[in-house]
Amino acid sequence: MKFLVTEECGKLARWLRLMGYDAAWMPGRSVRELYRLAYNERRVLVTRNKRLRASSLFPVVHLTSPNLEEQLRQLIHERSLAVDDEQLFTRCNLCNVPVEPIEKSRVKDRVPPHVYHTQETFRACPSCKRIYWAATHWQRAKQLMATVKASG
């Protein structure tokens, strides 16, 4: 399932990416452009914008809360999303591109020395070249996902 998340929901787009979902976020687009993209790319349009109407051409989810946890719960419920631990952290948080494993030796000069010495597994975005590793934010993200999953 692919998403097109409107401008006011950028934080949600990042979290969908953390969950492993393709979540395009394109601020500054007109309603017409959003509809065209949702239709052409077969994306679920996710919004809090009441001006965007449901369509028979593509699904629209109107979020009812500004709260991230509640937004995630609503999407999980309405779209039957899986929260799969194997898919967590498989996309670039910035580019929305799937990340790829990278050898530790290739990141030595690209990560802080402490990170290099304490981590064994790294992933890189082939688009922006950002390096990812399992740090404390991964545990916090997994805890949030477990909370949302359990209450959904």
Long-range contacts of 47-52 (CB under 8 A, 24+ apart): 47/5, 47/6, 47/8, 47/9, 48/6, 48/8, 48/9, 49/6, 49/8, 52/6
CATH of 2-79, one of 1.10.3470, 3.30.1380, 3.30.70, 3.40.50: 3.40.50
- The whole-number pLDDT of residue 56 equals 85
What average pLDDT score do residues 101-114 get?
A: 95
Boundaries of every domain in the chain: 2-79, 100-151
Mean pLDDT is lowest, of 9-23, 103-117, 129-143, for 129-143
Is the pLDDT at 152 greater than 70, yes or no? no
93-104 mean pLDDT: 95
Stretch 30-38: mean pLDDT, rounded? 93
